[in-house]
């Protein structure tokens, strides 16, 4: 597949100051036009087909708008009694297998990386057509492309000060954008220190494969990034880190994904760029929330984990003065019409992507506000906020925003 391209627009304007804490931070919006080369003529039937499935799902779920599906209580992660989900699977062989990989990073690869499927993956042609032409596919590719350009600018900025840029990618998945950008810079003599963190060995294994192909050095860390005790070090021997360490050891025999647990340290306050894409929309708007675990040393129990404002502060703590935190969030509505963004009903009602908290800009800024109000983040450390918005020609909608928070020097 050819690489997707986009052009960057100029920042539109500084928003006026207001009395509210976080609204006083200089904020600008930056629009990125994105034209997707993966979309093909099938979009002509994919769009109405997905609309028809959405109507079926709405009837079944008794709702009239995708907004009503946000925070819907569920008893199973994917309900196959839902006639829309069933029809999607019956019409398109292979989709059911793909649904079973959601929400791991491997499921994203259908949308971003059809040329190089993960080992053992068989995507049927109908599944691939949907991956190329659905709004989420376009949105995820646009996000990856925009993130690549923001990373590119930041790496150049740091390299111009004669330092090696340090990047920490949290919930990195296959880490395609960071690895590719770092590797491009290496060809120009700029060596980037790249640390990748995820709970999932398969994703870290994919990142390793790509890094090897690109000749890029990386360090991988298997950590739970919402661990309230912090994710910097393994030696915080609470239940969740012990569980992760044991499952690391269990994977050692696997040729592709087996790696010794990394006992290095993730150093707070030392990264020029911390990126967290495709993760923030899984966190609830609460400071902490209980996670129920089963069968850790044969025990069941409850661990408190970070919700969105607390996680924001944990990620912010990793950024060094002058550096940036990049956080992505799936949008809730079309920024011009206020209506649900394109195919939100497909994501929530047909695919039934679990745990998703789509948010618009004010809601993401409310979380930052909560983090400052709770004194988790010191408002004075935030120098500026740039909101990167992507309107794609194929969807005429913005599916994801990327929020760039810059730390004061
Ligand atoms: C949708 S993927 C996003 C991957 C990548 N950042 C991207 O934009 O392509 C979400 C990733 O979050 C990881 N993840 C989920 N919960 C996590 C946790 N508690 N700690 C660390 N990683 C986690 C998953 O394993 C998955 O790789």
219-222 and 299-306: which strand pairing?
unpaired
Centroid of ligand 1 to alpha carbon of 177 (angstroms): 14
Angle at 402 between CA 104 and CA 106, to 5 degrees: 15
Is any ligand 1 atom within 6 A of the Cβ of residue 224?
Answer: yes
Answer whether 281's CB lies under 8 Å from 308's CB: no
Q: Is 219 helix (H, G, I), strand (E, B) or coil?
A: strand
- Residue 14: per-residue pLDDT: 36
Ligand 1: atom nearest CA of 147 is 8
Q: What is the pLDDT of residue 7?
A: 41
Dist. CA 382–CA 191, nearest whole Å: 27
Determine the distance separating the centroid of ligand 1 and the alpha carbon of 336, expressed in angstroms: 30
**Mutation choice for ligand 1 from 177, 198, 210, 240, CB with most ligand atoms inside 8 A:** 198
d(CA 167, CA 92): 40
The rounded radius of gyration (Å) of the Cα atoms in the chain is 21
Task: Summarize pLDDT for 213-253 with one digit per residue, the tens.
Answer: 999 989 888 888 998 877 765 544 455 555 555 555 544 44
The finding on whether 43 has its CB within 6 A of some atom of ligand 1 is: no
Q: Identify the CA nearest to 247 among candidates 204, 211, 213, 209.
A: 204
Percent of the chain with pLDDT over 90: 56
Which of 140, 107, 171 has its CA nearest to residue 354? 107
Beta carbon of 231 within 6 Å of any ligand 1 atom: no
pLDDT at 47 exceeding the cut of 90: yes
Burial of residue 126 (number of CB atoms within 10 Å: 0-12, 13-18, 19+):
middle
pLDDT, tens digit (0-9, with 9 covering 90-100), for 300-332: 667 778 999 999 999 999 999 999 999 999 999
d(Cα 117, Cα 124) in Å, to the nearest integer?
Answer: 12
DSSP secondary structure letters along 154-210: HHHHHHTTTS--EEEEET-TT-HHHHHHHHHHHTTTPPPEEEEEES-HHHHHHHHHH
CA 206 to centroid of ligand 1, rounded, Å: 13
Contact 134, 397 (CB under 8 A): no
pLDDT-derived band at 261 (thresholds 50, 70, 90) equals: low
CB 165 within 8 A of CB 154: yes
Q: Tokens at residue 84, please?
A: 């829309």
Give the Cα separation of 318 and 269 in Å (integer). 4
pLDDT higher than threshold 80 for residue 395: no
Whether 105 lines ligand 1, by a CB cut-off of 6 Å, is yes
Distance from the CA of 105 to the center of ligand 1, in angstroms?
A: 6
CA dist 176 and 196 (Å) reads 11
Q: Is the CB of 277 under 6 A from ligand 1?
A: yes
How much distance in Å is there from the Cα of 14 to the middle of ligand 1?
32
CB 347 within 8 Å of CB 356 = yes
Q: Report the separation in Å between the CA atom of 202 and the middle of ligand 1, taken as the mean of its atom positions.
A: 11
Cis ω for the linkage preceding 103 (within 30 of 0):
yes
The whole-angstrom separation of Cα 279 and Cα 135 is 18
Spans of all domains in the chain: 5-407
Select from 208, 275, 278 the residue to mutate for testing ligand 1; criterion: most ligand atoms less than 8 Å from CB.
278
Residue nearest to atom 12 of ligand 1 (CA): 171
Residue owning the nearest CA to atom 9 of ligand 1: 173
Q: Which residue has the higher pLDDT, 117 or 166?
A: 166
Q: Does residue 120 have a pLDDT over 90?
A: no
* 156 or 227, which is more confident: 156
Q: What is the mean pLDDT of the chain?
A: 84
Give the Cα separation of 391 and 409 in Å (integer).
Answer: 32
Q: Which atom of ligand 1 is nearest to the CA of 227?
A: 19
* 104 touches ligand 1 (CB under 6 Å): yes
Point out the ligand 1 atom lying closest to the alpha carbon of residue 203.
27
Q: Which homologous superfamily is 5-407 in?
A: Vaccinia Virus protein VP39 (3.40.50.150)
Give the residue, by CA position, lying nearest to ligand 1 atom 3.
278
pLDDT reported for residue 297: 53
Residue 288's pLDDT band, with cuts at 50, 70 and 90, is confident
pTM: 0.89
């Amino acid at each position: 597949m050819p690489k997707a391209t986009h052009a960057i627009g100029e920042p539109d304007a500084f928003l006026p100051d207001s009395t509210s804490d976080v609204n006083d931070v200089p904020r600008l919006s930056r629009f990125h036009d994105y034209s997707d080369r993966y979309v093909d003529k099938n979009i002509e039937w994919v769009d109405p087909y997905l609309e028809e499935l959405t109507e079926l799902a709405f009837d079944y779920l008794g709702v009239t708008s995708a907004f009503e599906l946000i925070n819907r209580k569920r008893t199973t992660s994917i309900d196959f009694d839902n006639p829309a989900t069933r029809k999607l699977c019956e019409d398109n062989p292979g989709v059911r297998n793909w649904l079973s990989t959601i929400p791991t990073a491997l499921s994203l690869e259908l949308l971003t990386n059809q040329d190089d499927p993960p080992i053992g993956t068989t995507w049927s042609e109908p599944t691939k057509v949907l991956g190329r032409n659905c709004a989420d596919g376009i949105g995820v590719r646009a996000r990856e492309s925009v993130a690549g350009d923001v990373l590119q600018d930041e790496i150049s900025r740091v390299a111009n000060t004669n330092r090696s840029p340090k990047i920490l990618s949290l919930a990195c998945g296959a880490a395609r954008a960071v690895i590719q950008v770092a590797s491009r810079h290496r060809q120009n003599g700029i060596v980037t220190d790249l640390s990748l963190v995820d709970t999932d060995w398969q994703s870290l294994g994919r990142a390793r494969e790509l890094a090897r192909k690109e000749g890029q050095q990386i360090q991988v860390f298997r950590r739970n990034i919402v661990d309230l005790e912090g994710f910097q070090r393994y030696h915080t021997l609470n239940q969740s880190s012990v569980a992760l360490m044991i499952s690391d050891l269990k994977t050692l025999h696997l040729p592709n994904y087996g790696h010794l647990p990394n006992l290095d340290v993730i150093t707070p306050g030392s990264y020029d760029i911390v990126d967290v894409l495709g993760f923030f929309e899984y966190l609830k708007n609460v400071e902490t929330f209980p996670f129920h675990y089963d069968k850790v040393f044969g025990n069941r129990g409850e661990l408190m984990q970070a919700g969105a404002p607390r996680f924001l502060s944990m990620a912010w703590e990793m950024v060094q003065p002058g550096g940036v935190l990049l956080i992505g969030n799936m949008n809730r509505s079309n920024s011009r019409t206020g209506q649900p963004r394109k195919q939100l009903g497909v994501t929530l009602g047909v695919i039934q992507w679990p745990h998703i908290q789509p948010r618009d800009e004010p809601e993401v800024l409310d979380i930052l506000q909560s983090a400052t109000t709770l004194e988790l983040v010191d408002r004075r450390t935030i120098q500026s906020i740039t909101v990167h918005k992507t309107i794609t020609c194929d969807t005429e909608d913005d599916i994801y925003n990327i929020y760039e928070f810059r730390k004061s020097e």
